[in-house]
Chain A
């Protein structure tokens, strides 16, 4: 069964304190791994798509990497506005299978 597990469930950082979020997955034939950001009461906002092991994507303070079993979202020198829930998903057929997310809080 296709499955996505994210850790930690919640993460508190001080402004400027870099860290990483983990996404472990099992899927038969990875067609794509996606990272989204979700603010409270809003829909997920697309961040990155990764297609193959070794691939990396960057956007501002965020960098996503992919191996054959997991993906990491690295956050460098975070700011309070980076506070959100970060969701990881894998494409299973025509649908996305999501993890439960990591709630990130960045304090100034």
Chain B
């Protein structure tokens, strides 16, 4: 069990560019979650997968955001036409049964 991994760990991009983040959950965890955290705040829920099905999306997830989990294993989060307000830490978590969630190290996005 190597824990949840996320790549890249840091991403700096210019406003208007597209970015994609990857999350590899703990093996055999069928639930995968994406959260966003800004400085001084707790993580905020973005979206959630059970296996390959995306079951819930927050209203925070505008149409510039899309997430996939094509084979029920790793997941990607893409942000199109990035804005400075998208700068944040993007966290991925996985869970075996839908209760305790285990978080990865996060991807810090900076939009210039």
Contacts and interface: CB of A to CB of B under 8 A. Distances in A.
A71 interface: no
B9 to A, nearest CB: 9
B100 A36 contact: no
Q: Dominant SS at the A interface?
A: strand
A89 B33 CA distance: 15
Interface size class of A (residues with CB under 8 A): 20 to 34
B1 interface: no
B86 to A, nearest CB: 18
Interface in B19-65: 31, 33, 35, 40-45, 48, 55-56, 58
Contacts of A44: 43, 91, 103
B56 A94 contact: yes
A80 interface: no
Contacts of B98: 94
B99 A91 contact: yes
B106 A99 contact: no
Interface string A74-103: 000000000000010101011111111100
Contact of B100 (A41, A46, A98): A46
B106 A98 contact: no
A94 B43 contact: no
Interface string A19-51: 000000000000110101000011111100100
A98 B43 contact: yes
Interface of A: 4, 31-32, 34, 36, 41-46, 49, 87, 89, 91, 93-101
28 contacts: A32-B100, A34-B101, A36-B103, A41-B108, A42-B105, A42-B106, A43-B6, A43-B103, A43-B104, A43-B105, A44-B43, A46-B100, A46-B101, A46-B103, A49-B100, A87-B43, A93-B56, A94-B31, A94-B48, A94-B56, A95-B56, A96-B35, A96-B101, A98-B42, A98-B43, A99-B42, A100-B42, A101-B41
